[in-house]
Structure formats: C-alpha cells, structure tokens
A and B are shown apart, each in its own frame.
Chain A
C-alpha cells in the first residue's frame, strides 16, 4: 500500500472523510476507517483535519459524518472536493456562512 496521505471515514454512511495529512490538488488519498479501502483524488489542496467528499452530494442534501447529519450542502459537491464553510452550512447556527473560509474569522460583527 502507498504511504501517501490518508483520510479517515468514521461511519459507513458518511459522505465525507477527515484528512489525517495535508493533501495537494491532484493527490490520490487513501480513505481508511469505515470505508472499504478506497482511493479518491483530491480536487484541490485540503489541510489536515479538514473534510473531503467521498461521494457526490447534491445541493440541499445532508452532509454526514460520524453517521450523523453535520450540515446541509449549499451547492452540489463532487467527490474529491473540500467540504467546508463555502459549501456546507449548519441547520441551526444563524452565523454559519458568515465566516472566512480559510481563517474562520467572523464577518458579521462590529469590526467587519
């Protein structure tokens, strides 16, 4: 087996996996955990701790991790794509969607 970057899929029903290493765009990622060993090519650079789609997710569909719904896709997400604030929002948190994609800094308070 390759020693390249890996991502961990917690539950068989999950449509995302969490990166255990940084992956550059075009890198083949080994998905371990609940998934039957599979490989997915990262469509863009994805950092350690962030999520990659392991299945196509339609706009408005549930994003699932740990076997539970962690958010709703705000646009269609293809396998290999980084799943984060730009394409997934909370079902409860009204501030979800106002945060900077890379730093997480808020854009909705008095300091702008």
Chain B
C-alpha cells in the first residue's frame, strides 16, 4: 500500500497529469454560453473562463496556469471580440508549453450557432492531435501534488475530517510528494503556531508576512471566513473554525508560501496565499466561495484536491478531481452519492487516525490511477473566477526562492 504507481500522461513540458482533459476557456461572460455549448456532450471537455470585460492579471495568470496544468492536454479559447482579455494571446502561451491550443472570436464567426460548431470542430481536432502524441508514463507519490480545502465545516471537521487529511498529508510528504493547504483567512489567532512549523528562517518570514497581511485584510473588509452553516453546525467563532481548519496541514514543516498561479519550487508542505494584496481599489473578497479556493489550489499544480465537508457539499471541480471527505457520519449516510470518504470513523473508534489516513491516501492513488471520484461520476466540474489584485508571481515557478 505504501508504494503505489500508476500510468500518467506525460506533457511536452515534462509535467505529468492524471487526467487528459481539453479546456474551453471563455474570456468574457458574453462568450460563456457558447463555451458551455461547445462543452456539452464532450466527456473530456471542461469549461472555465473569466466574466469581466476589463482584464485582471490575477485572473489571466490563473487561466494560463489551468491551461498548462498537467491534467490538461489542449485548449480552445473563445472570446466575444470586445473584451480586454485576448483569447489568441492565451492560446499562444499555452502553445509555448507544447500543448495544442486554438482561439477565435465569436463576432468573427457570425454568431452562436456557427461559433458552437467551430468550437466543437476544434475540440475534435485537438483530441485527435492529443491522441496521436499521447505518451503514458509511470507516476508515483513524488509526482503528485495534492491540495486540501474545507467547506461546509461543522464541529466534526476539526475533530475528524481535517485531522485525517492532515495525517494523510504527513504520509504524502514523507513519501516525497507535494501537499498544499490554503485558507489563510482561517488561521486567525494561529500566528505563533504557524511560525513554529516553518522549515527555514525564510519560510518563517513569509508565513509571518502572510499572516499579518491576512489580518489587516480581514479587519479592513470586516468579514471573516465563517458563515451561517458553520454556526448552525456548532462552530461559534472564526477563532474556533481556524484551529480546526489548520489541522488539515498535518504536522510536517512548512516549506514556504506560494501565491496564486505559482507552483511550489520543490516537494513538501506549502501554504498557498490567496488573499488579495493591498491595492487602491481594495476589491474582491478572498475565498468568496469554496470553488475559488479549489481553483487556486489547482492553479498551483494540484492534480487532485481533497475537500473536507462536515455539513455536506455537492460541488466538484474542473481540471482536477475533487475527493470529498466528511468527518460527520450523519452527513456521510445522508449524502453517500456525493461523499468519497467517511472520516467520522475515527470518532466512533472504527479506525485510528493513521489507519484512516492510509486508507484515504490509497483512495487518492486509486483516483490518480483513473478511478472516478464521486463528484466526477456525478458530472460535476464547477469553476469560479473573479477580479482580485495580487502582485505578479513569475509565470514559471521555481525562480522565486
């Protein structure tokens, strides 16, 4: 069980994916209907995009990070023809990664019907090119990057769901893999605990600065990352929710902080900072919903994301499979079609924390090997992207540390 290998997809840029998706990317809300129609009935096509007409560098970097994600083999970009974000330029950057990519403007095609037809034709061509160039390679733990996000948290999340994921993170990191956690806004009051986990002095400095920015942000927008469902589920304050959320980071040293669309420079445990930077417009909420955080984790290179939900959530994800973990046995029974893993068994004594973590990691390997996660089986492929200001990380990670 400790040594698991499976067949992955080798991309021209050397990255290894566990899925072979085609992305359709719309560059403004006005093009989103056409993009969704292109994706209809195409099992391997996932649709993402940005709704704004005015461009946003954070959003462009995220779409490019997903367009060159290891689980993605080709891209079709669809624009209306008025917007700032340029589909041709996006396709160009994707092509530089060695992946085939096409782009067009709807206004130049004549309308909805002809654009959908062209999009479907391009998808067919990309699929053929990807098949002709397909290279399968063995993958193992060291080739895997996993993200973790929680949503719909309740009183069991901090006791079972998140600790089981944290222990699985420890095991993955010990086996040479990469683990990313985020939700910095759910680390309220934990500055010293975080710094004590820093792998290096540099990491400690990054973690401290990230914490301080987060607190200034929360105070400025006067909104903390806690919602009605959390309260109904027994969580009383953001401080209480924070300690439970932090448990999913496990216990290993934190190597440093990556920003959105930046990949960890090396293996180990990393914190992802998705909080907006101070900016004259101060716009955008951080983590306005769970899907945004999940997209940030996938943009950092996560091929699979573990989603921990006490109360139960029915989301999935574009680009990378979501594995749904609950620490609430009632939720697991009530939503069995949607839940992949019952972490509540550590509370009833049916499993130890170590047993549950090993079992969870084994499920991760099964999904990496091609087994569909519950959200994938149900056809889920949620995506969300909004305006945010974050100082630019380099497009290619690794040169920052």
Contact = CB atoms under 8 A, between A and B. Distances in A.
Of B158, B229, B232, most A-chain CB atoms within 10 Å: B232
Interface string B246-286: 00000000000000000000000000000000000000000
Interface string B198-236: 000000000000000000001100111011111111111
Contacts of B347: 8, 20
17 contacts: A18-B156, A19-B155, A20-B347, A49-B154, A50-B155, A68-B239, A71-B237, A85-B231, A88-B236, A90-B224, A90-B238, A91-B237, A92-B219, A93-B238, A99-B231, A104-B227, A105-B228
Interface in A17-59: 18-20, 47-51
A2 interface: no
Q: At the interface, is chain B mostly helix, strand, loop or mixed?
A: loop
Contacts of A61: none
Contacts of B238: 90, 92-93, 96
A90 to B, nearest CB: 4
A47 to B, nearest CB: 7
A104 B222 CA distance: 18
Given A18-B159, A19-B155, 15 more contacts: A18-B155, A19-B234, A48-B155, A49-B310, A65-B243, A70-B240, A70-B243, A84-B231, A90-B236, A95-B224, A100-B228, A102-B232, A103-B232, A104-B228, A104-B229
B189 interface: yes
Nearest to A8: B159
A8 B155 CA distance: 10
A71 B239 contact: yes
A7 to B, nearest CB: 10
Interface of A: 8, 10, 18-20, 47-51, 63, 65-66, 68-71, 83-85, 88-96, 99-100, 102-106
A100 B330 CA distance: 23
A4 B154 CA distance: 22
Q: Which 5 pairs from chain A and chain B are nearest by CB?
A: A49-B155, A104-B231, A49-B234, A104-B228, A50-B234
Contacts of B158: 10, 66
Nearest to A86: B236
Given A48-B156, A70-B239, A71-B236, A92 B231 contact: no
B227 A49 contact: no
B243 to A, nearest CB: 4
Nearest to B311: A49
Contact of A65 (B154, B227, B240, B328): B240
A96 B237 contact: yes
Given A91-B239, A92-B218, A106 B228 contact: yes
Contacts, number: 103
Contacts of B237: 70-71, 88-91, 93, 96
A66 B244 contact: yes
Given A18-B159, A18-B234, A19-B155, A48 B188 contact: no
A66 B240 CA distance: 8
Of A10, A20, A84, A89, most B-chain CB atoms within 10 Å: A20
Contacts of B190: 68
A51 B156 CA distance: 11
A28 to B, nearest CB: 19
Of B154, B229, B234, most A-chain CB atoms within 10 Å: B234
A83 B243 contact: no
Contacts of A105: 228
A70 B236 contact: yes
A5 B290 CA distance: 32
Given A49-B156, A90-B237, A68 B224 contact: no
Of A18, A83, A100, most B-chain CB atoms within 10 Å: A18
A70 B190 CA distance: 11
Interface string B366-396: 0000000000000000000000000000000
Contacts of A65: 240, 243
A91 to B, nearest CB: 7
Nearest to A20: B347
Interface in B177-194: 188-190
B196 to A, nearest CB: 13
Interface in B144-181: 154-156, 158-159
